[in-house]
Structure 1
């Protein structure tokens, strides 16, 4: 490979893709003493980054992927922070032409685990390595210390480990950066992390909506309530962020920010991937799925308007003095819903490991989420502590502290959901959590009828509660039961 001549010291690593996350991660690396070559297909981004932040460390601007390659020590370590899908493939294709065997690409963007494993196999065939690294923490995390969940081979991981560990978040003496498994394990972990994030954000949003619609707290009162909750078991980054949003006043109108912001919520795909993974693996992760569906419905502006016009708008019953949900009920319902969201996400990761061996250590993974990441909080720390002591806990909701939370808060969740339904306030995620728990707790489900229906329509058979084996009833003949195991 012919590379352009470069004078001066070479860079320790490169960052390709200088959006907010890429630019901040490059700055983070530079602040830790690394010489960082930076490149973006839009040349103005790199120039602007150096103009504003070159004093923070050694940032070297490359004007092409060939120039970037020439500026790096061997083996080259290139961090990608580009949009998922075709953009990632295009960036990898461009870099493959200028890299050499032994060089390592680290995909720090969101990616589907299957795509990561496809790319890794293709690159290994050319002597190159790919580490799929899930990076959580948003723009502040990228700059000040994210949580990093890596996959890939042990050899590739060891080559990039010092680099990634140096810029990762710390929880006490623990570095929130580790290889969590082979192949696409890091991106699977980040995908499910984001699914949990979607669910927790949605139950928080629904709880806030209930406070505003069914109590007289107002936006200032909601902000105070969230700040108070954030001092107890609900303490988390997302609760603090939500309190700040509730307190924010729009500077142009003087109105509460929540009254002027559009309600059509975007999503970038990771929540959908998490819900799909749960579905494919047979995991009942209803809260994760409902959070995605809620965003889908919010985006269907024309459909919502058409139904309101045809059927009539939903009229919310205003709360009379003292008639809305109690503050303690709202708090306990939110805590239960958050606990179930965590459990459903971790159950999805455990099922993925059983199916294809991607993430093997939930205690280690949740330890990485103690700092830097979006879903960090006191409850997650308690779950991580439980898994550290009992890593083989088969059912998280049956283990402490989650079992205690469900025992103590289920009645409050039911009261909150009943109040919302009666008043006409949509709470899809909170209601899905209640239904999920009810199904787990009832000794006999309606699916007994489904067993009968399947046998009647397709002779699929059924099992009995009073004896072993599988059976079929001749529904369209004499109604006799015959064994299927004979």
Structure 2
């Protein structure tokens, strides 16, 4: 192909950018990449000998090689690097061109950039992409937000690159302005929650029940064949099968118990509190990562408060069933919290998100893909104004049937002194949500007592204040 007329451009040829660009090229589109690093440019050229794939270190050459209107995606680290690329490319762009941010940008930053570039006549989209490097190469879940007109410009390319479930591409127009980055942020918050829930089940089965690594591998593989089928369950089973370099010990058993994070879980928790939407399972997943970081303090505290040897007085198979259903219950509540956030944010920020479509595109390609997402899609299809998926009749029936199991599993964890904060938060969320009465009348009385903050009364309109003393 000649040096002009490429269909799509990618800024940032790291693992994600390179893989997504090659994915789009495989779909028959001509593509060009831009990166300051000559090694990444030559690496892309070497990896693909196709004449419709090109890379350069020159922004001018990159821009001049694209068809008009230009369609460009940035896959660079969130924050200042995105603003830097925008500042460099904007003077070279023409009115009507499309610039997309495919990274995990904080959604208020996307709103700021969207407003600034729209004013210049340049289309701007925040595009959430999930699936890791393998997903980028073979088909991710894609969450584009901005304007419907912008999406129409790029829709054929994104649909070609996205994962497919039953022939349906895992991409849809999410909503206005920063909706795409917002939904990806919540996706990552749910991801935090699911990972923490699985790790708590592992802790209970390993330390409480005493399952061997081989038994754990077999069990998680079996669970992945049923209702718990999900990407995270699948890779958990694989992790229990991966030996270290010595060929004897599992790599897992040689990994330090200190988890890192990139901030998207924290953003989800912070925004949930801003919106006054309860997301306790996500909150606790963030908290556990924070506590994991203080490894030295935990080791010292363990010497002050040693845990006695625990012998489980229960049938192993019964406990395993409790834990399986505990996870099913907690999975549903974790997704419920995320969907409740998206619903509230859609109304608050004017996104106009179609909830059934979000569940639909999460069924494939992304990290939180799971079989039960089809149940959630059906729930929102039946009732698009559904406040919370837990009250859908089918899901409510499942939660009711699993709640005894999660309670029994938590009791066993408490007896074994095994921390299960995300699991407990999932149950508490359910119990709070279904409570027609909560003891918050006392809190209202306390607030009025010490601060004259007033309160509402049952059966009477208005606000009231009492002289308590």
Which bracket does the TM-score occupy, shorter chain normalised? over 0.9
CA distance in 2 between counterparts of 1:217 and 1:56 reads 50
Question: Does structure 2 retain, via aligned residues, the 8 Å contact 1:33–1:57?
Answer: no
Q: Would you say the 8 A contact 1:36–1:60 is kept in 2?
A: yes
Aligned partner (choices 123, 140, 144) of residue 150 of structure 1? 144
Mapped partners of 2:428, 2:468: distance in 1 = 32
Residues 215, 324 of structure 1: 8 Å contact kept: no
**Stretch of structure 1 that moved more, 311-320 or 80-89:** 311-320
Please report how far the alpha carbon of residue 408 of structure 1 lies from its aligned counterpart in structure 2 after TM superposition.
0.7
Alignment coverage as a number of residue pairs: 469
Task: Identify the residue that residue 42 of structure 2 maps to in structure 1.
Answer: 47
Q: Which residue of 2 aligns with 1:72?
A: 66
Match of 1:225 in 2: 219
Q: Structure 1 7/231 Cα, relative in aligned 2: closer, same or farther at 3 Å? A: closer
Equivalent-residue separation in structure 2 for 1:399 and 1:61 (angstroms): 50
State how far apart, in whole Å, the 1-side matches of 2:460 and 2:309 are. Answer: 51
Contact 2:4 2:64 in 1 (8 A): no
Instruction: Measure, in 2, the Cα distance between the counterparts of 1:388 and 1:103.
Output: 35
1:61, distance to aligned residue in structure 2 (A):
1.5
Structure-2 residue corresponding to 1:133: 127
Q: Say whether 1:396 aligns with 2:376.
A: no
2:293 maps to 1:299: yes
Q: 1:202 aligns with which of 177, 193, 196?
A: 196
**Cα distance in 1, alignment partners of residues 208 and 400 from structure 2:** 25
Is 1:227–1:240's contact at 8 Å kept on the other side of the alignment? yes
Asked if 1:339 is matched to 2:339, the reply is: no
Gaps of 5+ in 2: none
Alignment of 1:286 with 2:280, yes or no, is yes
CA displacement at 1:328 relative to structure 2: 0.8
Partner residue of 2:186? 192
In the alignment, is residue 37 of structure 1 matched against residue 43 of structure 2?
A: no
| Secondary structure of 1:244 counterpart | helix
Aligned residue in 1 for 2:88 = 94
Question: Bigger shift: 139-148 or 465-474?
Answer: 465-474
1:436 and 2:417 aligned? no
Change (3 A) 1:146 1:56: farther
Counterpart check, 1:418 vs 2:408: no
Give the counterpart of 2:100 among 93, 98, 106: 106
Q: Quote the offset at 1:474 in angstroms.
A: 0.3
CA deviation vs aligned residue, 1:87-121 (integer Å, no higher than 9, x gap): 11112111113222221111111111111110011
Q: How does 1:447-462 map to 2 (within 5 A)?
A: 447-462=440-455
Name the SS for the 2:146 alignment partner: coil
Q: TM-score, normalised by structure 2?
A: 0.96
User: d(CA) in 2 for partners of 1:305 and 1:41?
Assistant: 44
Aligned to 2:458: 465
Name the CA distance, whole Å, in 1 between partners of 2:326 and 2:297.
Answer: 31
Counterpart of 2:6 in structure 1 is: 11
Q: Is the 8 A contact 1:383 1:401 kept in 2?
A: no
Q: Report SS of the residue matched to 1:179.
A: coil
Correspondent of 1:62 among 56, 76, 80: 56
Give TM-score, length-normalised by structure 1.
0.92
Matches for 1:151-166 after TM superposition, within 5 Å: 151-166=145-160
Query: In structure 2, the residue corresponding to 1:217 is in which secondary structure?
Result: coil
The reply to whether residue 28 of structure 1 matches residue 23 of structure 2 is: yes
- Kept after mapping to 2: 8 A contact 1:13/1:77: yes
- CA contact under 8 A between 1:77 and 1:104: conserved in structure 2? yes
Q: CA RMSD in A?
A: 1.9
User: For 2:72 and 2:309, how far apart are their aligned partners in 1?
Assistant: 53
Kindly tell me: are residues 357 and 316 of structure 1, through their superposed partners in 2, closer, same or farther at Cα, counting changes over 3 Å? Answer: farther
Deviation at 1:217, TM superposition (A): 2.1
Residue of structure 2 in register with 1:365 after alignment: 358
Pair 1:7–1:248, CA change in 2 (3 A): closer
Q: Which runs of 5+ in 1 are unaligned?
A: 1-5, 477-486
Alpha-carbon separation, structure 2, partners of 1:244 and 1:254: 16
Counterpart selection for 1:274 from 268, 276, 283: 268
1-side partners of 2:219 and 2:309: how far apart?
22
2:168 is equivalent to residue 174 of structure 1: yes
Residue 345 (structure 2) pairs with residue 356 (structure 1)? no
Which residue does the alignment assign to 2:117?
A: 123
2:260 & 2:308 partners in 1: Cα distance?
26
How far residue 22 of structure 1 moved from its aligned partner, in angstroms, is 0.7
Which range moves more in the overlay, 383-392 or 142-151? 383-392
After superposition, the Cα gap between the structure-2 partners of 1:226 and 1:359, relative to the gap in structure 1 and judged at 3 Å, is farther
**Partner SS for 2:69:** coil
